[in-house]
Amino acid sequence: MEGTILAYTNALSAYRETRVKTAGQGQLIIMLYDEAVKQLDRSLELFKKNSKGKKDPGRIEEIAKALLKTQEIITELMVSLDFEQGGEIAKNLFSLYSWFNQEIVEANISKDVERVANIRDMLDTLRKTWGEAVTKAPVETIEPVRSGINIAG
């Protein structure tokens, strides 16, 4: 049974890695948003568990890890912006991403669940917008983008 689970886990990791390596720029951005929302959902779930009963220091550490992973993803989104082609939109996104990262830092320090939930909802809205843009845009003819962080698993 253990061998089957390990084989499944390895196959799933290989699939995710291949998916990331072969994704076009628009798909990769969506994948980054998906992972950011997933990490924020994880932190919110852990906050909820921690608010019930005894506070668990290990859980606090896991919350911090999930929030840090989200910050890394947002930073990756920031560095992927093309200010020449993106113009004002790229500048606005950069400001928004900077604000997200600052809010995450402050939410982590103060353990402010509402701040985390607000950022999660805004990132999810941006993800949906990107999803619509990618499906409406012509097929991408540019090379796949290489991300600096591991979102494959």
Spatial distance between the Cα atoms of 23 and 41, rounded to a whole number of angstroms: 24
CATH number at residue 40: 1.20.120.340
Spatial distance between the Cα atoms of 96 and 99, rounded to a whole number of angstroms: 5
Q: What is the pLDDT along the chain (153 residues), one digit of tens a residue?
A: 666 555 545 444 444 454 445 458 889 999 999 999 999 999 999 999 887 766 777 788 999 999 999 999 999 999 999 999 989 999 999 999 999 999 999 999 999 999 999 999 999 999 999 999 888 876 544 444 445 555 544
pTM over 0.85: no
**How many structural domains is the chain composed of?**
1
> Does residue 16 fall inside a structural domain?
no
Spatial distance between the Cα atoms of 82 and 87, rounded to a whole number of angstroms: 8
> Does residue 66 fall inside a structural domain?
yes
Radius of gyration of the chain from Cα atoms? 17
Structural domain containing residue 120: 22-136
> Does residue 149 fall inside a structural domain?
no
> Does residue 91 fall inside a structural domain?
yes
> Does residue 28 fall inside a structural domain?
yes
> Does residue 36 fall inside a structural domain?
yes
Tracing tokens 């093309």 back to the chain, one arrives at 82
